[in-house]
Structure 1
Amino acid sequence: MLRTEPLTEEPALSWSMGNESLQVPLRGEPFRLEVKCRDLENGHESSLGHLELHSDELLARCLQGDAAALFNVSTEQQGPTAEMKLEFLLVPDEELEAGSRGDVPGNHGLMTELDHRYNIAIQLADTDAEKWFILMTIAAQYYEQFRQFQDTLSLAKALSPFEEAIGLVLDITPPQVDQLQFIRDKTKIYVTGMSEFVAAFREFNATALDCLSGMLRRSSAVYNMLYDRFRVREDLSMAISLCEQARSLVPEHHPDTPLHRRQRGVALTLRFRLANDVQDINESIASLEDSVRLTEESDIDLPDKLTNLGTAYVLRAEYSHSLSDVNKAIVKHTKALTLREDYTLLQNLATAVLLRFIFQRDLTDAEAAVVTLERAVRLVPDGHDLELQRCLGNLGVAYHNRFEVLHRLEDIDNAVATQQRAFRISEKTGDDNPERAIHAASLGNAYLSRAETLYDADDVHLAVETLKRAVELTPPGVAYLHTRRYNLGCAYARRYDFLHDSSDVDHAIVEFDASLGLLPEMHANRPAVLSELASALQARFEVAPETRMEDIDRAIRLSLDALSSLDTGDYRRGAVLTTLATSHLSRFRALLDPCDIDEAIRRYEQVMDLVPAGTEDPGKQCAAMQLAHATKQRHEFRNSSDDLDAAITNYRIAATTPNGVPWSSFLAAKSWAHSASARGDDPTDILKAYGTAIELLPRVGWIGHAVADRHAQLVAVGSSLIAEAVASAIAQGEHCLAIEWLDQARAIVWGQLLKLRTSFDELRTAAPALADNLDRVSRALDTAGSRDVVPTTDFLGTARLKDVAQEGRRTSVEWQRWRRLLEQLTGLSRVLDSIGASLEVVTDTEFRAQEQHRRAEEWDQLVAQAREIPGFENFLRPRSFPQIMEALHCSPVVVVNASQKRCDALVLMEGLDGVVHIPLESLTFDRAQHLRKGLIRLLSDYYPQQRTTRGAGMVPIDPSVRGMGDILRELWERVVKPILDSLAFSIAEGGSSDMQRIWWCPTGPLTSLPLHAAGVYTVDEPGNKLSDFAISSYTPTLTPFMHSSSSSSPEGFHGILCISQAQTLPNADAESRLIGEIASEHNVAWRALRDDNGVVQAVLDGLEHYGWAHLACHGVQDIQEPTKSHFVLHDGPLALLEVVAASFKHADFAFLSACQTATGSDKLPDEAAHLAAGMLAAGFKSVIGTMWSIRDEDAPIVAEHVYRHLLSDTAPPDSSRAAMALHRAVNVLREQDDKKTFSWVPFIHVGW
């Protein structure tokens, strides 16, 4: 039976027999183990002998696992093994101790034992976790023999296990801190010992030189490795010092010389990265060139030496902007790859090629870098995270650079995703991984480029935060700190361009100044920093020109300084010239010095001259835009027609540049239209300019964005351009063109949705595969459009969900509701359940955004393919006027356009080939704006917020607004009556059943005004109000949504779903019961979801089965973000986007008995971004809603009369009678309005 006791707590090797184990310590004093074996057979003990082993022999036997050799029991015993008792005694090894103290003469025996131990240790597998330590311990014992006996052979023997131990630790990714610290300490001791040894034996003893050369080379490798792991500058300095010693002691013909030169070159390269001292990189290249020159072609290390040299050339090229050095680097890296292909060599070559691309802007280099790095990523073995994150980081940069040439959104999306992945991996490798800062910087730059392309405020925020992180992760004194602070300054400057927050431009100047202070005087990046600093100073001057004159003067000085340091052919001259020109233009606006405007134009012309003829580079767009602005301002100063002509020409160039940024193209087209209108002598050019701008609107509000992002883009566009374009077309007598533009430019987002829901059956007959692909992509885009429920993310794609509840509060029940919505619409893999003003949600938001980009690009490509098929040339193109008239199923439709130029009505009527034009001479845009603002102020005073009002208050009343009656009178006199007169409408004699219908399609400020209620209500005679002549409806587009799509109308009647929330609206329950009674009277199926049964999911499920929906609950119109408008149900909001995302197969009629369900955003008046339009987009043909708050007691009255009319006389019920039913119900409510509160006014009908 094997019995053991713990012998020591020191680290030990284990030898085992059966279930027992013997612990053999690796550290501590020398020891000897005595083993006594006794036979327990027949109940008595008999001695079988004992075994004494020195520690080195015992260790060797344990390493071999040789139990028989260790316990050499007598072989004379036959038969089954007897039961034995083994007793172990650990005793000091006096002989070994004496030997180490030098008490015995010589050390031959111990050297033999160490040799034997070393031979056994090297047989251990490299994967053995203890092998490196065993070897280091053996090396230490050899070294101790040298120290005690001055035996040079012992020192020489110490080097082999020492070198092998270092190699094993270098292969650990990453090495443990205690391992590296142990090696650091041992190396210092050995180097010191070596120096003592050489000093004592200066007779150029070959053994001494070999020992010292090997030790210095290995020690230098240790310190380079330590620096790479910990970035401690002292380790790097020690490595360089050791290499210098080796170079001075070892002749050039020595076999180790190439390695010495390489070690020195690598160390100097690392120090150059830290200190940016050009002497370091020059000496590094010299040493590395020597290393390559002295290495045989057959040497297996030659590829590594070549790539080290190539990397040094790249670093010097970055510093000096030397194309020659870049080309040398490419040659060296390419030769290295011919000798051995691996991922490190591939990514080094790609880095050099990318730098050449930056210098020359040759697409071939950008493409080559991407292909090379994609291959490098594939070659990285699993588990090599450090190497993988480096390859990914470089690949992200390559995608980014290719994007700058080809402007393919996929490339910049790939750059963002790849850099995110690289940063995540670098985070896992430890807090001290210096490459985290590199990846954060590259990721921030990618965000910034995408923000500028898509005009995306979220991306510019992410760029700032990410680049701030990159600066935080960069220690002081690191050479690249100047670049990271420069990049952060650029991000602040771009965010200022987006949001005009003056603090951003202040931050930008601080960062640029800091970057400039870190740069050597002749550094290649200095001109770029000077130029960006000048640009930021110019922007700050524009904020307060009267107090910031020193800013603009300094901006001009810095720009001239930057320009003077650039060669004539340097590609960066364009950016510097632009900054200089813009600064002169700013100073001109402040001082009106003609010299400044002339100099600005001269410099802008120089920028244009730098753009190669026929190029499609967006740089041409920017240059043309800037030159146009300057010449237009000089025209305004000097009234020069030549300058105005030049401005128009350059605006046209900027607007029509292929591959131009859509937002910039739109702004250029808008300025082109305004300038052409100012010249006034070329109507064709005016209309062409406006037409170009309108064609660009779908690209500005691109389908690849989320719905909320599209609305944000269209808010930035503003509604005035559409009205101006229509007014210009009307002025030229192009009434049909005006209608086409209105159809194209109104409700763009809803129009995109309807295109996605278009049936492709006709196309399927000609190209079935193409139609199937369009079906697939359209479904994906339809779903993805609602992803903006989570609107912003941090720089790693961690979404930040803003609480949608008022005042930042949400109950736990409501949060669960939002959680389900997020999981449904955005596919969140995990939601962190925490309630607060903002919530962290780990999500794949970035991935889904990029997926939407890809699907949108695919959609565009598929549509383009369809248009190549004969007969489908106009597939999904904007409709022509004949197509609009063909789709017109309601008449007349009256478009009321209000612009600064003129106000008009355009009427579409079935049976007419043209448009009826009615000038509204007594209406002006300013007056329409005054009426809109007056209405808002009036409502805020007249309908204060209260529990029983289905709405909310706004702002205090303006004393200048006398009342609702005055507003309705003006609308009658200035808008409605002139239209009715022109159309020869007459008073209906037979009541509402004989009345004509009229559909209103207002624009701009008129979208918020109650045209349907226009009239004079101080007199009782018929003919003084619109309701005497016609039944009014509204339409968000020129043809109702359901007729714009090819989806079939619901067949039959599918009952009524009634949702009510009596807890917040006391009369809602009575309203619901009243509708139920009326339905029962007419044997109509209906279902009520009251109070706690009226939860969101139940309502959505009900809408799937019922064709009519009645919602008696609060409705909230979010003026700032219309897509967040919602119905307030028991467990939370039913959002507009959620309604739109659904496509209810039985949808027919909806009664939105809640406040503000048909109130559009004043920022998006032509987008119809309200709940009623959302119901139309979801498939409902006919909707009753409210323009503003209604009284709780009024809703049941209107509802009762509407449903009694709708459910009487027809079988099955017909929703096309909804407008007439509302007309009658409102008449009843108006007759009860003795106090003239006009509480009936907000009820409206939308749709067919």
Structure 2
Amino acid sequence: MPMHSQCSVANSADKKENSNIEAADSIEMENHGNNHSMSQKSQLAEQLLSEPQDLHALGVKFERKYENSGDIQDLKAALLYFQTAVDLTYEEDPTRALHLHNLAASYAIRYQKLGDLQDLESAVQYFQAAVDIIAEDYPARAQYLQNLAASYSDRYQRLGDLQDLELVLKHRLAAIDLIAEDYPDRAQHLQYLAASYSDRYQRLGDLKDLEAALQHGLVAVNLTPEDDPAMVQYLQILAASHANRYQRVGGLQDLEAALQNFEAAVNLIPEDHSERARYLQNLAALYTVRYQRLGDWQDLEVALQHRLAAVNLIAEDHPDRAQYLHDLVFSYNDRYQRLGDLKDLEAALQYFHTAVNLIPEDHSERAHYLQNLAALYTDRYEKLGDLPDLEVALQHRLASVDLITEDHPQYLQNLGASYIGRYRRLGDLKDLEATLQCFEAAVNLTSDDHPAKAKHLQNLAASYADRYERLGDLQDLDVALKYNLAAVDLIAEDDPNRAQYLQNFAASYADRYQRLGDLKDLETALKHDQAALDLTAEHHPDRARRLQSLGISYADRYRRLGDLKDLEAALQYKLAAVDLTVEDHPDRPRRQHSLATSYADRYQRLGDLKDLETALKYDHAAVDLTPKDHPNMAQHLQNLAASYAIRYQRLGDLKDNEAALKYHQAAMSLTPEGHPIRARSLQNLAVLYSHRHRRLGDLQDLEMALQYRLAAVDLTVEDHSDRAQSLYNLSDSYTDRYQRLGDLKDLEAALQYGVAAVNMTAEDNPNRSRYLQQLATSYTDRYRRLGNSKDLEPQIRCGNYGTRTGNNISTQLKTSIDELPAAQARAFKHLSNELYTRDSEPSMNLVNQRNDLLKDIRKQPGFEFFLLPKPYKILCQAAQGGPIVILNSHKEGCDGIIILNPTSQPVHVPFPNVTLDLLSSQRNALKNLHGDGIRVLAVLESNMIFNGRLWWLPTGEFTGLPLHACLPENQSDQFIHSYIATLGSLLEANKKPSSILPQLGVFGVTQTDCEGANSLDGVEQEIKNILSVAEQNNINCLKGEQATVDAVKMQLQACSWIHLACHGKQDLTEPTKSYLMLYGGNLELATIL
């Protein structure tokens, strides 16, 4: 993770002020006793000098000597003489202010040398005393005020007391008011004032302070000749203010201005200048900022070289050496983040430990250093997966929070990041709750106009998403979306970080899509992912991450809609992401795994074994690049196991199933008991044991599968999005054991868990159909076992709902609600339109409103099952126009259920001659169905039904067969044969009054020849025969080139009877994608419906 460090350039002009303070009105004297010891000098002074002025003069001389020699003893002597002079000067003496001022200056100099806080306190005390007694019109008063301000500034830098900073500004503003416009040093005073405004901006974030800093800094530069020695410092301060405004507002012109001014300053400063190191340091900071904005690799290298040069120039005992080392660490960390080279991370850790050791325990920056040291340990944890690194990071961040005297939003943010890291490793829910507490506090402590507010909101959103993943509470997901939206709203269109916020926003929509299956959420995720990529430069270090996220969204849409173009796009973006990721980058294994899943998807679509082999290659590479104890190792092992499982299903090589079991078990051993992914790991193991049981017949494998699925259900909380699937899988295992052992308790358990899976699945969830089909099969099994006809009724109910296609489900909202009270009808239409048809972003509040309205509607007589599966007593009313034959196909056998009339009990008809294998061939299926068709007729005849309309409702493998052809030729014509998709659709059709039906008319379509298909002979005569019995004044027929998709669609709206004589293609996986082959295009069933 990136280190927490402000990228602003330090304003250190104040650090130089005290060292340049001169004793005003100094007295020149010869250096008597130059070769004597200090004690001898003191004795000589006492003998020869008794006047304060003379003692003061000696202080001035020793101070100057210190400036030349650097000997601390000379500075001590100066302090002794200055202090004695002050002690001997009367309160009303006009020279007392001068004596106090120079005593303060010497204390300030010694503070700069030794860093002793007591010296700084003495400097403040004596400077303040001098200012208090000096006359308002004294010529040097402005300088006295500046020096007092400088000491307050030093104390503010040391202790962080805001009151000191306010005093700095107060005294510097007072000094400026005393300076004439043409005063030679006015530029210097303006520069000091600019630095103080900049400091207050850094503390409080008020943009007005930053604008004031820029205004005064620019005037100072304009007043100063280019060859003036002070020009270097003024350029530096001006550059710093431009850098700060860039950081706040994001205008690239400020960044370029900052770089331009700093480059000019560095070019003016001599190689051996004592301040060169600091200027190199600040110039490096600006190159770092530009690298982070534009991603230019060269900027990162230049920043690193400048910081190395600065560290080499700074003395070992320099008080700022720790800061220089800190910033060098920052550059090494940036390069590590870009290239993933562990050597850079180790170098960063080495330098940072040195820096922390140089910081006193009570230093105001120690907490900040501990924060950044924790960031480095976090990076190494993410690279190597060593849990002690994560624990060390957490301890450093806790220590840093304890060191600060008031709440610091960024420190709380970082502490939360450590807690969430440990939660994701160990799965302890307490860590997740601690994360939320820290992140929420950080958000609440940050004003809306603060530049870090959006980042805090984004991290809080991510934590709510984690809790949603763990507990399955949809409210958490809605909160995550809310905070991500708030973060995006705070980010300006041209903000360099906007891409990251859009990517995270997309992730929340993707999560909600996974839960609710609403395609609009997935489309929104794709839109934001694409926008994030569009905002990311070609060479930006985050481009690979953006490509990966967009590729995942395309893969999700492919799995939903099956459009091969989406899968190709997913592969394209994921390949590009892997290609941009260096071999040892910590994210490379995860991206390789994601790429492997898309190759596996393409294999399953096209069947090319090369794709599956490629998937295995990338999965193996991901595992090989991941340290054994890395937190992602379990996930990568699971993915590798999944690829082996797919190859087993293709080739049937038991070694592949064994390999899949081995890797899944290894993944399980790395997953802590309470970890959120453990339930899915158990499910995956259960699937593999089920495969081996079906292959080898070992009952122990079936028992293992059952036990793993039971454990998975126990680990999945009641309202988690995965619980329904877990219950369905458990029901399936009990069904398998029932079929193996015949124990009725297993069948009852299968029904129990199957009902539970259905009950917790929303009516518009695409998985509900599959769950109901399985439940229908279980009811059929119990009927076969016990012969209780009551089991046929729930079988019909579940089977009818389960056979509905995705289009049937999505068109629920088009159900007639004319019989509802007008107010409820309007409210239902409005809420449904808001949820399903608009392009807005629906909230959980909207979902809850609609659910509450549905509950109220279902309380009314006649609407108890509004938009719900109807019970048999209602469904059987569909048979009022003739018997209905429901055909079911199962791996255990095939059968039929006949609803004779609206008042009869359903009749079961076994089809012993038909199997699933036979149904795969229409010719063989019809041949074997011939005898079973006679069974259907026998049931009808025994109930005195010899002719009329016969409705066929085929399900599963029966779908698409011309079932009437299975009847004996001499009996088939006794009935008018019609086909329906569900009982519900026939019920709805029967309810429609004739007044709303289209005008009676007959419409025919003939398309005898289609590219790639055999010619249809006899269709012309067929259509003539049909049309000949219709009324001549309302007949229409489209032939050949006339039968376009648009022409047929127009006729569908105008006629009540349609006869289609053309080729078609059936899609058993997605029935609504079945289509008729017309001239110039295909007409899908979904369009017809």
- TM normalised by structure 2 equals 0.60
Q: Residue 1064 of structure 2 is aligned with which of 1112, 1116, 1121?
A: 1116
One-letter amino acid of the structure 2 residue matched with residue 282 of structure 1 = L
Output the CA distance in 1 between the equivalents of 2:381 and 2:684.
34
- Residue 673 of structure 2 corresponds to which residue in structure 1? 610
Per the alignment, do residues 457 and 248 of structure 1 end up closer, same or farther by CA in structure 2, a change over 3 Å counting? same
Question: Which residue does the alignment assign to 1:1050?
Answer: 995
Is residue 2:283 matched to residue 1:325? no
What secondary structure sits across from 1:384 in the alignment? Answer: coil
Aligned to 2:796: 742
Asked if 1:228 corresponds to 2:296, the answer is: no
CA–CA distance in 2 between the matches of 1:289 and 1:371? 40
Does structure 2 retain, via aligned residues, the 8 Å contact 1:687–1:729?
A: no
- Residues 1:739 and 1:528: Cα distance change in structure 2 (over 3 Å): closer
Give percent identity, aligned residues only.
Answer: 19
Match of 1:467 in 2: 574
> Which segment drifts farther, 507-516 or 134-143?
134-143
Aligned residues: 824
**Closer, same or farther: CA 930–1116 of 1 in aligned 2, 3 Å:** closer
Q: Secondary structure at the match of 1:224?
A: helix
2:742 to 670, 680, 688: 680
CA distance in structure 2 between the aligned counterparts of 1:464 and 1:1040, rounded to whole angstroms: 41
CA distance in 2 between counterparts of 1:388 and 1:862 reads 39
What per-residue deviation string (whole Å, max 9, x for no partner) do you get for residues 997-1018 of structure 1?
443445555555544345666x
Query: 1:317 offset after TM fit, Å?
Result: 5.1
CA contact (8 A) 1:894 1:999 kept: yes
Unpaired runs of 5+ in structure 2?
A: 1-182, 195-207, 402-407, 414-441, 1010-1015
CA distance 1:369–1:312, change in 2 (3 Å): farther
- Indicate if the aligned counterparts of 1:541 and 1:552 stay in contact, CA closer than 8 A: no
Find 2:875's aligned residue among 884, 907, 924.
Answer: 884
Shift of 1:732: 2.1
For the residues of structure 2 that align with 1:880 and 1:1122, how far apart are their CA atoms?
A: 25
Aligned to 1:421: 528
In 2: Cα distance, 1:555 partner to 1:519 partner: 20
Aligned-partner Cα distance in 2 for 1:114–1:1048: 95
Cα distance change, pair 290–869 in 1 and its aligned pair in 2 (3 A): farther
Task: Show CA shifts across 1:761-817 (max 9, x none).
Answer: 55x34xx65543433466689x97xxxxxxxxxxxxxxxxxxxxxxxxxxxxxxxxx
Q: CA deviation at 1:220?
A: 1.8
Partner Cα separation in structure 2 for residue 772 and residue 1067 of structure 1: 52
Q: Do the aligned partners of residues 854 and 436 (structure 1) sit closer, same or farther apart at CA in structure 2, a change above 3 Å counting?
A: farther
Contact in 2 for aligned 1:516/1:526 (Cα 8 Å) = yes
Is 1:999 aligned with 2:945? no
1:282 pairs, out of 310, 331, 349, with 349
Give 1:671's aligned residue.
733
Please give the per-residue CA displacement for 1:698-739, whole angstroms capped at 9, x wherever unaligned. Answer: 99997366xxxx8xx97x999899667535424421334224
Q: Tell me, yes or no, if the aligned pair for 2:884 and 2:950 is still in contact at 8 Å.
A: yes
CA separation of 1:933 and 1:879: change in aligned 2, threshold 3 A: same
Alignment of 1:144-293 (within 5 A): 145=227, 152-153=229-230, 155-156=232-233, 159=236, 175=252, 191=266, 194=269, 196=271, 198=272, 208-209=273-274, 211-229=275-293, 231=295, 235-247=299-311, 249=313, 260=324, 263-273=327-337, 274=339, 275-277=341-343, 278-283=345-350, 286=353
Question: Is the counterpart of residue 760 in structure 1 residue 817 in structure 2?
Answer: yes
Paired residues of 1:533 and 1:555 also in contact (CA < 8 A) = no
2:787 paired residue number: 733
Q: Distance in 2 between matches of 1:1134 and 1:460?
A: 24
Contact preservation (8 Å) 2:259, 2:286: yes
Contact 1:482 1:519 (8 Å CA) reproduced? yes
SS of structure 2 residue aligned to 1:386: coil
The 3-state SS of whatever aligns with 1:879 is coil
User: In 2 relative to 1, CA 508–555 (structure 1 residues): closer, same or farther, beyond 3 Å?
Assistant: farther
- Residues 886-925 of structure 1 mapped to structure 2, 5 A cutoff: 886-897=877-888, 899=890, 901-902=892-893, 904-910=895-901, 912-919=903-910, 923-925=913-915
Report the Cα distance in structure 2 between the residues aligned to 1:1076 and 1:468, rounded to whole angstroms.
57
RMSD over aligned CA atoms reads: 6.1
Output the amino acid matched with 2:876: M
1:1041 aligns with 2:986: yes
1:933 to 923, 927, 948: 923
Alignment partners' CA distance in 2, 1:1009 and 1:508? 38
Shift of residue 270, structure 1, vs aligned partner:
1.1
Quote the offset at 1:680 in angstroms.
0.9
Identify the residue that residue 197 of structure 2 maps to in structure 1: none
Secondary structure of 2:548's partner? helix
Cα distance in 1 for partners of 2:564, 2:301 equals: 46
CA distance in 2, matches of 1:719, 1:339: 53
Cα offset for 1:224?
A: 1.7
Indicate the residue corresponding to 2:487 in structure 1: 376
Question: Quick one: distance in 1 between partners of 2:523 and 2:621?
Answer: 27
How do residues 610-1009 of structure 1 correspond to structure 2 at under 5 angstroms?
Answer: 610-611=673-674, 619-620=678-679, 622-623=681-682, 626-627=685-686, 630=689, 647-648=705-706, 651=709, 658=718, 659-660=721-722, 665-682=727-744, 685-686=746-747, 689=750, 693=754, 703=764, 726=780, 728-746=782-800, 747-749=803-805, 752=809, 755-761=812-818, 764-765=820-821, 770-776=824-830, 863=854, 866-867=857-858, 874-897=865-888, 899=890, 901-902=892-893, 904-910=895-901, 912-919=903-910, 923-925=913-915, 929=919, 932-934=922-924, 967=927, 971-976=929-934, 979-980=937-938, 983-984=941-942, 995-1003=947-955, 1006-1009=958-961
Tell me which residue corresponds to 2:1087: 1138
CA apart distance, 1:239: 2.9
CA contact (8 A) 2:296 2:539 kept: no
Matched residue, 1:1192: none
User: Cα distance, 1:1030 vs. partner?
Assistant: 4.4
Helix, strand or coil at the partner of 2:898: strand
Secondary structure (helix, strand or coil) at the match of 1:748 reads: coil
How many Å separate the matches in 2 of 1:188 and 1:362?
52
Structure 1 859/495 Cα, relative in aligned 2: closer, same or farther at 3 Å?
farther
1:95 alignment counterpart? none
Give the counterpart letter for 1:276 in structure 2: L
Q: Which amino acid aligns with 2:617?
A: V
Amino acid at match of 2:971: K
Deviation at 1:867, TM superposition (A): 4.6
- Indicate the SS of the match to 2:743: coil
Q: Is contact 1:437–1:469 with CA below 8 Å preserved after alignment?
A: yes
In structure 1, C-alpha distance between the alignment counterparts of 2:660 and 2:1021, rounded to whole Å: 73
- For 1:883 and 1:624, how far apart are their aligned partners in 2? 38
Distance 1:1129 1:451 in 2: 26
3-state SS of paired residue (1:439): helix
How has the CA–CA distance of structure 1 residues 279 and 637 changed in structure 2, closer, same or farther, with 3 Å as cutoff? same
Structure-2 residue corresponding to 1:431: 538
Q: Give 1:647 shift.
A: 4.9
Q: As a proportion of its length, which structure holds more strand?
A: 1
The match for 1:1213 is none
Which residue does the alignment assign to 2:199? none
Unaligned runs of 5+ in 1: 1-110, 146-150, 199-207, 560-575, 581-602, 785-826, 828-846, 937-966, 989-994, 1018-1023, 1141-1248
Instruction: Give the letter for the 1:737 counterpart.
Output: D
Q: Distance in 1 between matches of 2:236 and 2:877?
A: 93
Distance in 2, matches of 1:634 and 1:157, equals: 80
Q: TM-score, normalised by structure 1?
A: 0.53
Letter in 1 for 2:1088: V
Deviations along 1:85-105, whole A, 9 cap, x unmatched?
A: xxxxxxxxxxxxxxxxxxxxx
